[in-house]
Structure 1
Amino acid sequence: MSLRLIVVLAVLTGATGSPSMTIRPGADPVDMTAHPNSVPEAVEETEIHGQQEVPVEEEAEEDVMATGELKPNHYPAQRAAKVVQHYLNTRYGSPVRLFGLHNVNSGNAEDVADSGRKYQLEISVQEIISNTTEKCSAEVLFPRGEEQRSPTVQASCEELLKVNTTAQEEALFQKYKMNQSLLSAQNLPDSYGHIAPDNKPLWHLGIVASSFVMLKESTENTLYNMAQVANITQLATENEQLKFDCHILLHEMVSQEIIHWKLQFTWSPPEGVKVLQMDQLPHCHHHEQPPKAN
């Protein structure tokens, strides 16, 4: 496949706890008047909080199935490394702790019998809110078979996980829990790439929840970024979890598709983010324009 792309990788994140979800791929269509199925044309990706550009070198021939030592800035290594980012968000992210890929330092790929292809990576990961960057070792296995299965990930990032956010998380949780009215927000970021400061934790929660989808959907031939939280709404609950409905827009960089998902998830400091339901929404337009990047 011949591609001439310079990929803008979104370094976004957030979620704690182990991935937990119920997936309903055959969900009924959703009322799109409540969830606008369009991307603001003027969204500037480089203005989104916590995003930076990670260039991927142009390749005359993209060798997706490269074996042995990988070029750090080429697609095979970058795609596997982005899966590590999503994995870290689903396990350790929160509204005040988001992980993003800073760069790939080295990588190696090998076929593993009938199991699939395994990537060994040395990467730098950034905790975006504290602006802390540390080196991590990771292993990503893309399973082989006709039925698509999620990649499996092992990552060692002990130094990065020492950033203690317990007090901040508890304060935010109590604030949201004691609000007299349920929270809601739309178009994070807006058409100018802006997010109101009070809405940034909701944006971060949307990023964390989106990592569950991107981890599940990732293959050796995809490269997902978070584009926008179209809307997010807090739901009433009687237990010690905050609960949210969320409509997110994902940008698949290879196909240049904008893909819409509706998620329902919970969050609390002890349990982290847990996705209860994820439904891919139908396309209103066959081809949609992704958010513009500088």
Structure 2
Amino acid sequence: MILWVLLASVALSGVTTGSPTVTAHPDAASENRVQATAVVAVEEVMETGELNPNHYPAQRPAKVVQHYLNTLHGSPYKLFGLHKVKRAYAEDVPGSGRKYQLELSVQEVVQKQTTASCSAEVIFPREATHPPLQVNILSYGDDLLKINVSVQEEALYQQYKKNHSLLFAQNLPDSYGHMEPEHVPFWHLGAVASSFVMLGESTEYTLYNMAQVANVTQLPSDDDLLKFEYDVLLHEMVSQDIIAWKVLITWSPPEGVKVLKMEKRDYTVTNLKTTLL
């Protein structure tokens, strides 16, 4: 798993019950917005042709590929992370936007056993008349999809389907990077839910990671699906904002993760020391 340790300072107002401890810094928030605007202004003229694989213009579309794979195949025991960008090429496509052709490697980060090469195209819209963000996976290693976690998934599903007390957990991980072992699958599930949000929010000028699951609450369900409400904190690397979202999902081994609702919350977090995925 590719992990970064972060000490972030951004602003907050209007925290709901169960959210991390925060304080308000409106001046810091304004400064972050100014810095983010400056970055966007500098990058209005994007590079064309071969890109440096280690620089932001190549890393951003590659992270979009990671989020896309998680929305398709992610689960409490299967989660994909960007391992390395090997090659990136950018070009303007009239009528569509800006296309990035990528050669990268992706790692399944829960089992930590499989890393595979992946080819993909990502097209970011440039105009309101352009189609929305498009991701096309051209090829990736079959080993990624052959990882068999059905036994673990079924055991988790049965445990929480039969539970008389519904799950509630917060601050995954906490400020020291710790979480209880029984909560780790729900941190992974929160990362998958976050990928749906980050995929929808990503542009050429953003780079998102999940910073923390602030809260996860299991909700009653009348069908065969487990239902969870997540409060997740997302780190936008360019502006340095940590943005809160509420995501309502269902999950079961045969159905996978389905998002019922996504809602951006009106606060960000200060002095959060955590792990980014």
Q: Shorter-chain TM-score: what band?
A: 0.7 to 0.9
Q: Aligned AA for 1:281?
A: R
Asked whether 1:137 is paired with 2:119, we answer yes
| SS of 2:231 mapped into structure 1 | strand
| Cα distance change, pair 39–272 in 1 and its aligned pair in 2 (3 A) | farther
One-letter amino acid of the counterpart of residue 147, structure 2: V
Maintained 8 Å contact 2:86/2:105? yes
How does the TM-score come out when normalised to structure 1?
A: 0.77
Is 1:260–1:280's contact at 8 Å kept on the other side of the alignment? yes
Displacement of 1:186 in angstroms is 0.5
The answer for the alignment partner of 1:220 in structure 2 is 204
Residue in 2 aligned with 1:209? Answer: 193
1:54 is matched with none
Q: Give yes or no for the alignment of 1:71 onto 2:52.
A: yes
Q: Deviations over 1:40-82 (max 9, x none)?
A: 9xxxxxxxxxxxxxxxxxxxx7686111111110111100100
Deviation, 1:126, is: 0.4
RMSD of aligned Cα (Å)? 2.5
* Equivalence map 1:76-225=2 (5 Å): 76-131=57-112, 132-146=114-128, 150-155=132-137, 156-157=139-140, 158-225=142-209
Matched residue pairs, number? 246
- The secondary structure found in structure 2 opposite 1:228 is strand
Q: Write the letter of the residue equivalent to 2:143.
A: E
Helix, strand or coil for the counterpart of 1:281? strand
> Partners in 2 of 1:238 and 1:258 — Cα distance?
35
Pick the structure with more helix per residue.
Answer: 2
User: 1:86 touches 1:211 (CA, 8 Å); kept in 2?
Assistant: yes
Q: State yes or no: 1:32 paired with 2:15.
A: yes
Cα–Cα, structure 1 residues 100 and 241, in superposed 2: closer, same or farther, change >3 Å? same
C-alpha contact 2:100 2:121 (8 A) present in aligned 1: yes
> CA–CA distance in 2 between the matches of 1:259 and 1:126?
26
Shift of 1:165: 1.7
Query: Which deviations, in whole Å up to 9, do the C-alpha atoms of 1:148-198 show, x marking residues without a partner?
Result: 975211122233112122222112111111112111100000111111101
Alignment partners' CA distance in 2, 1:31 and 1:39: 10
SS of corresponding position for 1:283: strand
In 2: Cα distance, 1:169 partner to 1:226 partner: 22
**Secondary structure in structure 1 of the residue aligned to 2:91:** strand
Match status 1:259 vs 2:243: yes
User: How far, CA to CA, are the matches of 1:149 and 1:214 in structure 2?
Assistant: 18
Which of 262, 265, 274 in structure 2 is aligned with 1:281? 265
Tell me, in whole angstroms, the C-alpha distance in 2 between the residues paired with 1:65 and 1:212.
26
Between the aligned partners of 2:230 and 2:121, the Cα distance in structure 1 is 30
Deviation (angstroms), 1:36: 1.7
Aligned partner of residue 275 in structure 1, secondary structure = strand
Deviation of residue 253 (structure 1)? 0.5
Unaligned ranges ≥5, structure 2: 5-12, 24-41
Change (3 A) 1:166 1:239: same
Distance 1:147 1:38 in 2: 42
| CA distance in structure 1 between the aligned counterparts of 2:18 and 2:266, rounded to whole angstroms | 12
Question: How big is the shift at 1:146?
Answer: 3.5
The answer to which structure has the higher strand fraction is 2
SS in 2 for 1:159: helix
